[in-house]
A and B are shown apart, each in its own frame.
Chain A
């Protein structure tokens, strides 16, 4: 059962006890969130069952299609900013023709999955946390538990599948738009022809850059859904608690995306 008993503690006697309790609770929370992730992942064989099919399709639509607008704007301008900043510097050395390579490699390796992760954490992650949190404080999660309908299967698994599938796809889309945005800046402000830009862009990019980026995007998807569902399912204290769960989801997701992104990069590019 997801529904948990309220945790009530005596006030800590001093700052050390308070810090210690915070660390213990953070470790407990991490363990519980990971167990939730495993529990939801274990339900993925039911992905296409009559009972879950519609929810999975709805979540794929919400995460993928409904996020396209904001992802498009962010992706395009990320590529444009990258091209402009790098291009202006390289122009001082007469190397502005190389911005294609820099934009392409940056987008594939880092900026594509990173920017997509931030956008999805802020939009989809916060929405999931708010919805789950509202359901928790309104006793809807408890009602599911009592009906023996697993919230992990009924609520978390469709969102997990949606984010695990859509994050890499949206990252490919972000990469393409970002590279295209760089081309626009290159052609209009740096005087680089589209042929030269794209020739340069794809000459030095490797398949590995794409795969590592997509792997990161997949991990970011898991992070977002796990943090959002955990925060939502453990929300307490009504509307205030829902707001807190939403805020924590965005903050923790952002931090984990940064930290995990760094370690994945280090693992593949030493």
Chain B
């Protein structure tokens, strides 16, 4: 569904993505992990054209988003929902208006239907009753969930999550992970998650890819990823105290 074809990206002298090629299948949850500054978010930003590659192309269902412009780009972007690391809520709009924003601005739906759809998505993320609160008055976890409600209110086919659990306490983090998993199971969306939380990655991912020095050193289902002998993966697993999938299941109470 999303295909990176020999993508290279440099910032000054630093090569962040080095001739990277991979494909994300429809309906899967593809998790990109790696150390800070490894280029995880850069990779994600290429998918929605917030960055363009220095070399190579990015395809979304056969359409080249890295070279699209105007109405074509708008149409491709319309298939995406994005949860930003900071949630990126507009501070002068309340929770409900933030969630309604894409529908109000990009559709001609009647106001009643817009509000009904926003209420449905807010209920899905467990935020009934918070409609009138302002972003500044709610916690980081709530902001992320509002951001998620806004990302899914347009019923996108692909949802991108940039560090969905960073800065959250473990309980809220696990709630967000379960929510991401539920969205894939119930709505059938394709998800791409960028995180450095391996518990989260191994729980929600159908494939987990480790980005290191501009290249994917391992890209495999969780069972194979955890069994990888690659030193970077071993270091990462060890640093987070994961010996096997049973540790991940335990963390999620299974």
Q: Is B one of A's binding partners?
A: yes
Residues of chain A having any CB pair with chain B under 8 Å: 1, 3, 5-6, 8-10, 51, 135, 138-140, 142-143, 145-149, 154
B contacts with A, residue count (CB < 8 A):
27
* Prevailing SS type, chain B contact patch: loop
A149 touches B88 (CB 8 A): no
Say yes or no: A5-B102 contact (C-beta < 8 A), given A139-B85, A140-B88. no
B11 touches A8 (CB 8 A): yes
A140 touches B102 (CB 8 A): no
Chain B residues with CB under 8 Å of A9's CB are 12
**Of listed A142, A148, A149, residue having the most chain B CB within 10 A:** A148
- Rounded to whole Å, the gap between the CB of A146 and the closest CB of chain B is 5
Residues of chain B having any CB pair with chain A under 8 Å: 11-13, 48-52, 73-74, 77-78, 80, 82, 84-86, 88-91, 101-102, 104-106, 154
A140 touches B89 (CB 8 A): yes
Assembly CA distance A143 to B90 (angstroms): 9
Say yes or no: A147-B104 contact (C-beta < 8 A), given A1-B49, A139-B86, A140-B88. no
B105 touches A143 (CB 8 A): no
- Rounded to whole Å, the gap between the CB of B7 and the closest CB of chain A is 14
Chain A residues with CB under 8 Å of B84's CB are 139, 142-143
A147: which of B13, B49, B89, B101 is its contact (CB, 8 Å)?
B101
- What are 25 inter-chain pairs, A to B, with CB distance below 8 A? A1-B50, A3-B50, A6-B11, A8-B11, A8-B12, A10-B13, A51-B105, A138-B86, A138-B88, A139-B86, A140-B88, A142-B50, A142-B84, A143-B82, A143-B84, A146-B77, A147-B77, A147-B102, A147-B105, A147-B154, A148-B77, A148-B106, A149-B102, A149-B105, A149-B106
